[in-house]
Amino acid sequence: MQINQNYVACEECDTLFRKSDLYKNERAYCSACGSELYRKIPTFNTLLALVCTALIIFAIANSFSIVKVELQGIYSETTLLGAAWAMFEADRAFVGFLILMTTFIVPLAYLLLMGYILLMAMFNKNIIATQQYASLKLALRSLFQLRAWGMVEVFLIGVLVTLVKLVGMVVVIPGIALWAFAILSVLLVYLVSIKIKDLWNAIDGNQIS
């Protein structure tokens, strides 16, 4: 069965619409329920630049201390990986595993996968007709599955709430990693907001152009 690429169905109410060309960053919404149908995503060069920037910020966020706490002249500081390791040492392996997965492994895997997909699409105009097509589909499916597990912004909110509670008891000095996590959260929220089907449509259009 051949799918007509000129039509799109709303994911929320199944209303069928004829697709129309959009300008850069423009979005189409369902007139029945108001949900987003599709959008014109930025160019692959722009997205790849954002992914590379996010990877650099990610490295900074995990290389420096999140906060430095001072109590009666005694200083204490830790990195994200140090916080996860502290959970393992405190016999809270499940919590440590969740921190490691949702704030380190999954975001890193998401950024690397997206960069891989963009590079394949940019440097292989006929990827749909090659053996790399299977790798592209697997990468897109994996990207979709990872979307729900990246929680850097949740971790950041948790850290900020904790810091607010500690302000009256100890001296809290924000570290470089805290600001890096704030920037990383913004970049990840934007990248994750790009739907897989919109990314696929851009790749499909890149093969035709």
Over residues 112-136, the pLDDT tens digits come to 999 999 988 887 766 665 667 778 8
Regarding beta strands 74-78 and 67-71, do their DSSP bridges make them parallel or antiparallel, or are they unpaired? antiparallel
- Predicted TM-score of the model (pTM): 0.78
For strands 27-29 and 36-39, give the pairing. Answer: antiparallel
**52-93: per-residue pLDDT in tens?**
999 999 999 988 888 777 677 677 777 888 878 888 888 888
CA torsion sign for 20, 134, 104, 176 is negative
Buried b (16+ CB within 10 A) or exposed e, 25-53: eeeeebeeeeeebbbbbbebeebbebbee
Neighbours of 62 (CB within 10 A): 20
Q: What does the alpha-carbon distance between residue 54 and residue 64 come to, in Å, rounded to a whole number?
A: 16
Where do the structural domains in the chain lie, given as residue ranges? Answer: 1-40, 42-208
**pLDDT tens for residues 7-29?**
777 777 877 777 777 776 677 88
Count of Cβ atoms closer than 10 Å to residue 172 Cβ: 18
